[in-house]
A and B are shown apart, each in its own frame.
Chain A
């Protein structure tokens, strides 16, 4: 029953830039890899380690956090905090023995529909290449 591996990717998108960018990708009929499931949050700063770590431990093959470009945050500074928290998390996930690029932070603006598609497709390709998150089958998580 060797089925082609299709990853499960969780994408946290900020409402103002990245979600709008994703919408633009849709309304421009850009093809985007379906393995990413979008979860809308108001600001990338809402996404903290609790959300990302639990996604990973519960078997997400990849987690994408996308927010406004630095300086563009609808709430002025949220994405800077998001970035710091993310930098910390990158360190932490290392000890889970996961490839550090299973989690990704990207800046996607509302006009960057194409970029959204590129980032998601590339990320999905990367994750597919990496194969399933070993934790998906880890009974301890």
Chain B
């Protein structure tokens, strides 16, 4: 193919000529081989400029275009779309940054000019090695698999299910509802009961777009965004296991949490002293509306102990303060004869209305005791003695009953599921989000989303928000009838050269590389690859090519840098 390169130097108004001798640049470039035309233009990114470029490409029958102007961050896309409109593959274009990197950085005009020449020359040499890349389109399946039938899972399923999108929800226990279904009240300061969950479950069960699988677990998930296949194991009543395969476009992990095992640390006295309860057991008491000691008597005093397992786990579980307050409210409201002592390390009430809830409890006569560290909980005859340290002094309180609030910990299947889904865990053992701040419900595997306490301790409204967030993500990426366009500048493996050492596989964060075990070579899944080039950097034999950032392309730049 004949190479006809068009080189266009944008003056960017006065910005570039101020520091760069554009005419000299034009003159230098025109002597280069394979450069068909070199022209300067006042402002390439303007409409006139775009029109000019379009005409040039068509008229001069250019095979490659180099524009020397501003940063690719500013106008790479602009000019690429001009190329596209003019029938030139947009990847046969190179933008050379002579504004930010030359004109604005180098005060000496001569130096800036020669630097610009250097850069443009590199751009011309580079563009000759460009390949016309084509966007691909992949058909998608818009159905969704929700793993976990707790509150988060239910909410996500409800939000997503519709005539154009089926939702499969799988739950390992016998029924939907999860942890939240056992709570006495979810809304402490408003006091309403938790039948809403029931309503939601009913709504799900009646929906024709939802497929509920109880007693089920995922065995295998493979594929990528828009094209996953999952194998589901369902335990039937007689001990048998039924296996089925479903096709979905996205997966939502809503596997919830477990409670910290209080027996792990003797200081909580749990399991040793009678009448030391954990939060769930106390919830049950509230549900049965009977607050009684083991002996059957009503307690005279109850201690609510915060932060059990916080130190062991290394994080604050966020919700315990509030539900302890809920207990306090309940006791004061319904059993005013019971004295309530609340042993607190730090109040964690980060919501605009929670503080007032605390103030109200205070007004109701709850005795808040600050402790720096819990030392011991032991039974002394009828009573439970709790020793703790505050301001470096030891104190103790004695009560009839102690309710200990355990930390939230990852649910037991988390590690196994992470392996199945090929997504990472964080140091606390929860699933790790793609980006803690900006992408809180995504995972490195595009199309697999996380919600609720699978990600870490969360309160109910946060979990619900996240469920909606996952549905938002899925709605926008898997639109029925639309195809997805994966990144174009991805890595590519030359099978002949690949030795199958799997080095690339181990450095790829996104799991975009797999092994074809029959051929013994690595394979890039272009739908997953984001094009960072880490695999290219790791491959010793040069069997991987990162499109648009190939070795020859970069070497051309290096060579010209060294001219």
Contact = CB atoms under 8 A, between A and B. Distances in A.
B549 A41 contact: yes
A46 B546 contact: yes
Q: How large is the interface on B (under 10, 10 to 19, 20 to 34, 35 or more residues)?
A: 35 or more
A138 B516 CA distance: 45
Given A23-B73, A75-B530, A45 B537 contact: yes
B401 interface: no
Given A30-B105, A42-B489, A43-B532, A37 B119 contact: yes
B378 interface: no
Given A23-B73, A45-B534, 13 more contacts: A23-B101, A26-B101, A34-B108, A37-B118, A37-B561, A42-B532, A45-B538, A51-B554, A60-B561, A75-B510, A75-B530, A81-B538, A85-B537
Interface in A107-132: 117
B246 interface: no
Interface of B: 71-73, 97, 99-108, 111-112, 115, 118-119, 122, 434, 444, 489, 507, 509-510, 530-534, 536-538, 542, 546, 549, 551, 554-555, 557-562
Contacts of B537: 45-48, 81-82, 85
A75 to B, nearest CB: 4
Interface residues of A, number: 42
Contact of A48 (B538, B549, B561): B538
A31 B507 CA distance: 37
A82 B536 CA distance: 12
Contact of B533 (A23, A29, A43): A43
A133 B72 CA distance: 31
Given A23-B73, A30-B105, A43 B558 contact: no
B409 to A, nearest CB: 25
Interface in A39-59: 39-43, 45-48, 50-51, 54-55, 58-59
B533 A41 contact: yes
B561 A42 contact: no
B100 A23 contact: yes
Contacts of B97: 23, 26, 38
Given A26-B105, A38-B97, A50 B533 contact: no
Contacts of A78: 509, 532, 534
A10 B558 contact: yes
A105 B378 CA distance: 57
A20 interface: yes
A71 B463 CA distance: 26
Interface in A61-85: 74-78, 81-82, 85
Nearest to B100: A26
Nearest to B530: A75
Contacts of B444: 76
23 contacts: A9-B561, A23-B73, A26-B97, A26-B100, A26-B103, A26-B105, A27-B100, A31-B106, A32-B106, A34-B106, A39-B561, A42-B531, A46-B537, A46-B546, A46-B549, A48-B536, A48-B538, A50-B542, A51-B558, A55-B561, A55-B562, A59-B562, A78-B532
A22 B101 contact: yes
